[in-house]
Structures are given as structure tokens and as C-alpha cells.
């Protein structure tokens, strides 16, 4: 039998076989590699966001102007306060998670349960905040005019303040009604009609001499180009084709359609991770309550979901930087 | 698992709160810088990126370091696991970002030269 044993001279060494070179359990190692692959997915999204931004670097929307809402502060310009708050919520839920893991090491079931519960609550608050952020983004604030080239024109007054379409456009009585499936021969329908037609906008704009048009283009100092009154009128007449209010995947009132697409995709994909994180946390929470890990003798499962939860926080840190700050 | 057998009854809560405070301060600095936007940081460029954006990126990576090392306990793992996760991600992301941003900048120039109209 001696002859069949191959001696490599590496017995007993780290990679000599018969031991665990990485000194982690299978489950934890696979969680790390899942996180690695997920991190690469997110970097793919963020890097392609960077691509789009470099491509349209002289006409990209200014994030401060888009995300400037805060609950109960209507009409107050509050750039970034809200996302900063969301960041703190997520970081704090990360802290409670790591405290749960820590309590698990000391086999304190009650403490693990309490910290897990706090983590879950933090996750739910974050999800609610994100839903509110989406609601604001989809509804829009001011509305804009779509041009033939697929760009948007925004309306401001002499002082440079944004003016909502509502404030100067009066919808003329229309004969055109939305076509619905119920009254069509071919059972087709069409998107909701805009509240104002291009003619309404033109009439309103002409009637208010203090209004100007702001284009998407950025100046050297990073501000949007503002047209003169004459140029504004000419631009509206020659290029305006309709009204955009709010945002969807095809167009948005903030500027480049890609801006809306990346917003929905990246924050949506991240929100989906938070949602699954909360669900997994809830499962583990109940397992802690019924004493599964107490019987098992260790709380490694809490550590594994902890890894996932921290990863979700880690991704948000990057989304926060590249979507809201840079 | 790398650490729970050796010092199972030690609590790390002091370190956890320290890291939380560090992360909060970094986030606060980011938010304040993002709201004030000091002129000299916005108008100074370093390797074709605004200085303020460099600061944001460095602060973000710093935060990522603390989350991974302290919260995810990467500091307690073996060198092999640490490198197979962090270096793999690091090199691939740097490569991807370099390619996409260079290409994006090139496409931008093509649009600027007027061969293709984006605003008509």
C-alpha cells in the first residue's frame, strides 16, 4: 500500500490538503463570494452610470435640484438632507446588526433578538424612505417641456427661480379624450394624456413676460444655460413638442432620460436587496426566538445574514456618493 | 468562526460604537461639503476630476474600509480569504471603471464635434 501514496512534501502546510486553509465555515465563505459577485454587479451598474454621465457631462441634471424634498417641509429647498438621513438610518441598522452578532458570540439569546428586531425596524424605515423618494421623483415638482430632440426645457422667472407649469399655463378646453380599451374597436389604449398641450404652454408663456427658458446645457461653472426672453420664445416655438410632468423610464422632467433610468435601476436594485435583507432578517429573528441557534450551540447564522446586511449598507454608501454627491 | 473559538466571551461593543462614530463623522463631512460646495474645491481639477469629487470618493472608500473591516469583520479573517475577496473586487472594478469612463469621455467628444446631433 505504501507505493500508492503520493508524497508531495506539503503535508501539514496551509495548502497541503486535509485542513481548512481559509479557516472559515463553508457557509460563511460562500456568503463572502456571493457578496463579491453582487459587488461586481453593482459596480457594473454604477460604472455604466459613470459612462452615461461622462457622455453627457455638459448636460447632466444637477442632483441637488432633483432631490431637495424633506417630509413636512413643503416648498423648502432641502438638498440632500433626506438622503443623508437615510444613510444614517442604514448605518445605524448596521450597528445594531453587528451588536446582534456580538451578542451571539456571547450566546446571549435575548440581546440577539432585541438587536435583530432593531435592525429589521431600521431596514423597514429605510425602505419606506426610499418609497417616499421614489414618489417625489415620479410625481415631479415643476414639469418641463419636451423638445423634438428628446431634451427638456425648464421654465424659470427673472430671479432664476423655477416656475411650475401649473403657475402660468391654463389648460384650454379640449376635444381630444384619452382612448381606452373599453371604447376602442381593437382593444388598445394609449398613455394618459398630458394636462396641457403645447399650445397652452405657448399661450401661457407669451402672457407672462417675466418667464425664461433654461436648457439642459451646463456652463463652464456648472450652471444651466438660461436663454434670453426672445431666444426662449423662439426655442419653445421651434422645438417644443409637449409637456412632461414627473418621471418614468422613457422621459423625465429633470433632463436626460438615462438619469431617470439609472435612478430607478440602481436605487431599485438596492432597495430590492434591502427588502430581501429584511425578509431574511425576519426569518433569522424568529429562529433566534424559538431557540434554534441556542440548540445548535452557535449563532453563525446571525453572522451570515449580518454579512449580507452590512453589504447592503456598503452598497448604499457608494450609491449615495455617486448619485447624490458627485 | 476565525475568532469565535479563541475569544468567545469578549465583547467588541466598544469598537463597534467607535466605528459608528467615525462613519457618522465622515458622512456628516460629506453632506456638509455637498451642501456648501466650496468654490476652490469645485473649480480645481486633479486628473480631470474636480477636487471635491476626489474627496467624496476617498471618504467613501474610507467608509467602505471601516464597514468591511470592522462590521463585516474582515480584519479577523485569514489573509487568503481577505485577498481573494478584496483584491478580486478591487482590480476588476478599477479596470471596469477605467474602461467605461474613458469610453464615455470619448463618446462625449464625438457628440461635441458635431458629427452626431444630440440636440436638434
Give me the pLDDT at residue A277, please: 97
Show Cβ contacts of residue A165 under 8 Å, excluding neighbours closer than 6 positions. A142, A143, A144, A155, A196, A201, A243, A245
A28 contacts B71? CB cut-off 8 A: no
Residue A31 CA: distances (Å) to CA of A27, A309, A310, B12, B91 = 6, 11, 12, 22, 20
Render pLDDT for A26-37 as a digit per residue (tens, 0 to 9): 999 999 999 999
pTM of the model: 0.90
| Fold type of domain A26-140+259-325 | 1.20.120
Give me the pLDDT at residue A111, please: 95
Give me the pLDDT at residue A33, please: 96
| Percentage above 90 pLDDT, chain A | 70
Dihedral pair phi/psi, residue B27, rounded to 5°: -60, -40
Question: Which residues in chain A are contacts of B101 at CB distance < 8 A?
Answer: 47, 50-51, 54
Does A324 score more than 70 pLDDT?
Answer: yes
Render pLDDT for A112-163 as a digit per residue (tens, 0 to 9): 999 999 999 999 999 999 999 999 999 998 999 999 988 899 999 998 889 9
Give me the pLDDT at residue B2, please: 44
Report the candidate in B58, B50, B104 with the shortest Cα–Cα distance to residue A47: B104
Report the largest interatomic distance among the alpha carbons of chain B, rounded to a whole angstrom.
69
Q: Determine the distance in angstroms separating the CA of B76 from the nearest CA of chain A, rounded to an integer.
A: 10
Does A302 score more than 90 pLDDT?
Answer: yes
Show Cβ contacts of residue B5 under 8 Å, excluding neighbours closer than 6 positions. none
Render pLDDT for A160-213 as a digit per residue (tens, 0 to 9): 889 999 899 988 887 777 878 777 666 777 777 888 889 899 999 999 999 999
Q: Which residues 27-86 of chain B have a CB within 8 Å of chain A? A: 27, 30-31, 34-35, 42-43, 53, 56-57, 59-60, 63-64, 67-68, 70-73, 77-78, 80-81, 84-85
- In this structure, the strands spanning B49-50 and A211-218 are unpaired
* Number of alpha carbons in the 13 Å side-chain half-sphere of residue B26: 24
Residue B52: other Cβ atoms inside 10 A: 21
Does A100 score more than 80 pLDDT?
Answer: yes
Name the residue among A55, A101, A310 with its Cβ closest to that of B104.
Answer: A55
Give me the pLDDT at residue B118, please: 64
Q: What's the average pLDDT block by block, 10 residues per block, for chain B (120 residues)?
A: 48 90 95 90 86 95 96 93 96 97 93 72
Name the residue among A33, A48, A99 with its Cβ closest to that of B100.
Answer: A48
Would an 8 Å CB–CB cutoff place B1 in contact with chain A? yes
Residue A74: other Cβ atoms inside 10 A: 7
Task: Report chain B's C-alpha Rg in angstroms.
Answer: 21
- Which segments of chain A are extended strands (E)? 144-147, 152-157, 211-218, 224-226, 240-244
What are the extents of the domains in chain A? 26-140+259-325, 144-174+193-245
Q: What is the mean pLDDT of chain A?
A: 91
A298 contacts B4? CB cut-off 8 A: yes
A67, A83 in Cβ contact below 8 A? yes
Name the residue among B24, B97, B120 with its Cβ closest to that of A88.
Answer: B24
Render pLDDT for A26-68 as a digit per residue (tens, 0 to 9): 999 999 999 999 999 999 999 999 999 999 988 899 988 888 8
Q: Determine the distance in angstroms separating the CA of B104 from the nearest CA of chain A, rounded to an integer.
A: 5
Give me the pLDDT at residue A184, please: 67
Give me the pLDDT at residue A65, please: 86
Amino acid at each position: 500500500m505504501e507505493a500508492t501514496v503520493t508524497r508531495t512534501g506539503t503535508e501539514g502546510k496551509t495548502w497541503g490538503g486535509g485542513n481548512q486553509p481559509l479557516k472559515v465555515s463553508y457557509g460563511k465563505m460562500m456568503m463572502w463570494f456571493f457578496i463579491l459577485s453582487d459587488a461586481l454587479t453593482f459596480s457594473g451598474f454604477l460604472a455604466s452610470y459613470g459612462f452615461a454621465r461622462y457622455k453627457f457631462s455638459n448636460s447632466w441634471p444637477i442632483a441637488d435640484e432633483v432631490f431637495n424634498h424633506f417630509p413636512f417641509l413643503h416648498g423648502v429647498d432641502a438638498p440632500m438632507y433626506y438622503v443623508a438621513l437615510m444613510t444614517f438610518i442604514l448605518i445605524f441598522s448596521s450597528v445594531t446588526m453587528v451588536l446582534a452578532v456580538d451578542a451571539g458570540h456571547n450566546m446571549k439569546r435575548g440581546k440577539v433578538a432585541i438587536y435583530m428586531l432593531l435592525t429589521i425596524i431600521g431596514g423597514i424605515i429605510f425602505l419606506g424612505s426610499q418609497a417616499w423618494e421614489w414618489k417625489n421623483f415620479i410625481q415631479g415638482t415643476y414639469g418641463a417641456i419636451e423638445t423634438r430632440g428628446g431634451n427638456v426645457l425648464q421654465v424659470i422667472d427673472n430671479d432664476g427661480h423655477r416656475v411650475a407649469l401649473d403657475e402660468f399655463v391654463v389648460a384650454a378646453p379640449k376635444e381630444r379624450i384619452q382612448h381606452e380599451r373599453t371604447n376602442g374597436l381593437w382593444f388598445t389604449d394609449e398613455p394618459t394624456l398630458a394636462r396641457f398641450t403645447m399650445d397652452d404652454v405657448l399661450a401661457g408663456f407669451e402672457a407672462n413676460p417675466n418667464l425664461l427658458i433654461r436648457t439642459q446645457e451646463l456652463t463652464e461653472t456648472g450652471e444651466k444655460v438660461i436663454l434670453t426672453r426672445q431666444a426662449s420664445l423662439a426655442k419653445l416655438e421651434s422645438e417644443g413638442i409637449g409637456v412632461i410632468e414627473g418621471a418614468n423610464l422613457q422621459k423625465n422632467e429633470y433632463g436626460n432620460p438615462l438619469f431617470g433610468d439609472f435612478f430607478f435601476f440602481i436605487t431599485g436594485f438596492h432597495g430590492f436587496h434591502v427588502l430581501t435583507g429584511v425578509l431574511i432578517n425576519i426569518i433569522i429573528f424568529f429562529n433566534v426566538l424559538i431557540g434554534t441557534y441556542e440548540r445548535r450551540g452557535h449563532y453563525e447564522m446571525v453572522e451570515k445574514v449580518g454579512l449580507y446586511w452590512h453589504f447592503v449598507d456598503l452598497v448604499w454608501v457608494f450609491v449615495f456618493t455617486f448619485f447624490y454627491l458627485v | 468562526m476565525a475568532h469565535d473559538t479563541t475569544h468567545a466571551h469578549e465583547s467588541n461593543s466598544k469598537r463597534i460604537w467607535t466605528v459608528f462614530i467615525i462613519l457618522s463623522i465622515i458622512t456628516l463631512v460629506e453632506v456638509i461639503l455637498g451642501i456648501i460646495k466650496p468654490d476652490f474645491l469645485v473649480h480645481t481639477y486633479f486628473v480631470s476630476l474636480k477636487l471635491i469629487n476626489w474627496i467624496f470618493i476617498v471618504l467613501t472608500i474610507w467608509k467602505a474600509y471601516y464597514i468591511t473591516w470592522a462590521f463585516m469583520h474582515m480584519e479577523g479573517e485569514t489573509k487568503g480569504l481577505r485577498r481573494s475577496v478584496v483584491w478580486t473586487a478591487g482590480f476588476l472594478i478599477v479596470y471596469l471603471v477605467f474602461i467605461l469612463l474613458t469610453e464615455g469621455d470619448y463618446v462625449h467628444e464625438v457628440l461635441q464635434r458635431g458629427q452626431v446631433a444630440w440636440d436638434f
